[in-house]
Chain A
Amino acid sequence: MEAIEKIKEQVVAAVPGAQIEIIPSTPAAQQPALLVDREHCFAVAKFLKEDPRFQMDCCSCVTGVDYLASGFIEVVYHLYSMALKQGPVILKVRAPRELGQCSVPSLTPLWRGGEFQEREAYDLYGVKFEGHPDLRRILMWDEFTDHPMRKDYTPPLDYEWEPTAHDETLARARAQEGIVPPSALVEADKAKKK
């Protein structure tokens, strides 16, 4: 596989206007990625798929990463070429974390392999993939409203409510309106008897 700078040059030449940045990996892993802007992401992916020098015919891995401190969600695509046996070319696209604006163009029209994986990223991270043919939840149940892999996700309090509450759980339960832990009832009972 060519050096990432050369790939970037070729992509910029083929897709005019695309803003591409190189993101380094760890020193040992040596897997630098191309950060593409949302508008040109589809065109860049199409170029990488169809250009005879790359022939990235297989989109192996799609996933989301939530960078809470930086305020964006990153979608990572690992592209491999089965025809030329080379790769990976790693594409990264960033979208703001706010649910209304968190959308990136879907690459499922180019690679069927992204279908379930993009659904999974939508389910767990709330990334809306524009142009996905069937964007529904896949792992969580349909009635679920949140996106559990986001770093600021907190599970609802009443899920794991211990009957013999320890201090922390007791405080949480007291904070929640209308729930009195049984241990508190027992204590109140004792106080009455005295």
Chain B
Amino acid sequence: MIQPLTEEQRFQLVPGPEGLIETQQLAVSIGPQHPSTHGVFRMDCVLDGEVVVKLRPVMGYLHRNHEQLAEKMAWLGSMPYTDRLDYLNSMANNWAYALAVEKLAGIKVPERAEYIRVIMAELTRLLNHASVIGFMLQDLGAWGTPLLYAFREREKILDLFECVSGSRMMCNYFRFGGLRVDMDEKALGMARDVVAKFPKFLDEFEQLLTENEVVLARCQKVGILPKELAINGSITGPMARASGVEYDVRKVDKYGVYGRFDFRVPVGAVGDVYDRYMIRVLEMREAIKILQQALRDIPAGPHVAPEVKVRNFKVPEGDGYARTESPKGELGFYLVSDKTGKQPYRYHVRPPSFINLTTLEDMCLGHKVADVVIILGSVDIVLGEVDR
């Protein structure tokens, strides 16, 4: 039984080495149900007062062995499952998987399909970056308003996705050698409408946020990621570019028809949370440029390569890796086909948001707990992809 403290003991201060009150470090587990972790993600932190001295990401709460599921079904069978990886950007995930299979099997995609793929991927980028900035502001304490502004625009793009593919978020739109259905004039009109109105929204968004005093105070010089560490830690996408790594898979690999479009790759200077915000805004402006060119140049023709079989589709024996610039970073698929060729022998996803978490501890050390939340928000993770 525990003896109750006497009155004297209760008010006695424990003297430390220098005569001060003795302090101790505190281990705090943030998550997995915490709303600012964007899903079921946990951070095991050690805090000294409010300052983070150690942080270990813990994941796996949403693990469903996506890779093993894909290895047990035909090649096309896992296309709908790729939607569920990064559930904000199902079109971008579809493309990465389709690209990998096309690379292995040597399938050529018709022109019109390539243009529609670019349109879909860039619309996805607009949707993702707008929502991420909204979520980041939510983490900063601006509850709801910026997020709803972003979601208002996202809704228009989701309506377009529904018109094209029949589903708003789980689109399952891409097929090997093309697309499931063609994009009709009505959908193209909707896309033109979105592209025409998006810059106005972006101006308004920037007017509210870019030089906002609170945003500047909370985001600048917070969570700095040095360029060398970004490269060494395999950080990709907007995060790497904010740290000054001039690398964009669209420019380097020129997959699809990206070689034909005129666009710039914005690069940050400091690599803090504010740079990551700014890079996303600039990338949205570049995405609009690409969309305008793609919608102007889109040719007529078939939407899928006619020689590709839907049933009994086979891939020659061997392995291959294909990567795309998804809104979160480099999304790659490593596939191995065996002798039968009917289903993947090995199916591996290189998830950008999982690997971008590698340097989370380095970015958070020395910052307050409240800053950890926005640093994680600026990494832009989706747990469906982190845990797979």
Contact = CB atoms under 8 A, between A and B. Distances in A.
Given A58-B234, A113-B358, A148-B65, A28 B316 contact: yes
| Interface footprint category on A | 35 or more
Given A28-B104, A61-B332, A140 B63 contact: yes
A59 interface: yes
Q: Which of B252, B334, B345 has the most CB of A within 10 A?
A: B334
B232 A24 contact: no
A26 interface: yes
Interface stretch (B16-24, B205-213, B349-357): B349-357
B337 interface: yes
Given A60-B350, A65-B336, A85 B247 contact: yes
B350 A61 contact: yes
B320 A115 contact: no
B68 A148 contact: yes
Contacts of B320: 25-26, 28-29, 31
Contact of A113 (B315, B334, B355): B355
B359 interface: yes
B334 A26 contact: no
A27 interface: yes
Contacts of A58: 231-232, 234
B359 A112 contact: yes
Interface string B222-265: 00000001011111100000000101000010000000000000
Contacts of B106: 26-29
A59 B350 CA distance: 12
A82 interface: yes
B129 to A, nearest CB: 22
Contact of B68 (A25, A27, A149): A149
A111 interface: yes
B299 interface: no
Interface in B365-388: 387-388
A122 B336 CA distance: 19
B318 interface: yes
B121 to A, nearest CB: 20
Nearest to A28: B106
B352 to A, nearest CB: 10
Contacts of A88: 321
Given A63-B334, A65-B336, A116-B357, A139 B388 contact: yes
A60 B332 contact: yes
B245 A112 contact: no
A78 B321 contact: yes
Nearest to A108: B358
Contact of B231 (A57, A78, A138, A141): A57
Contact of A112 (B233, B236, B315, B317): B233
A153 to B, nearest CB: 8
Interface of A: 24-29, 31, 33, 57-61, 63, 65-66, 76, 78, 82, 85, 88, 90, 111-117, 124, 137-141, 148-149
29 contacts: A25-B320, A26-B104, A26-B106, A26-B317, A26-B319, A26-B320, A27-B318, A28-B103, A29-B103, A29-B106, A29-B320, A58-B231, A60-B234, A61-B348, A65-B345, A76-B319, A78-B334, A85-B252, A112-B229, A112-B359, A113-B234, A113-B235, A115-B233, A116-B355, A116-B357, A138-B59, A139-B388, A140-B60, A141-B60
10 interchain residue pairs of minimum CB distance: A113-B234, A28-B106, A26-B318, A29-B320, A112-B233, A139-B60, A61-B350, A63-B348, A139-B63, A65-B346
Interface of B: 59-60, 63, 65, 67-68, 103-106, 229, 231-236, 245, 247, 252, 315-321, 323, 330, 332, 334, 336-337, 345-346, 348, 350, 354-355, 357-359, 387-388
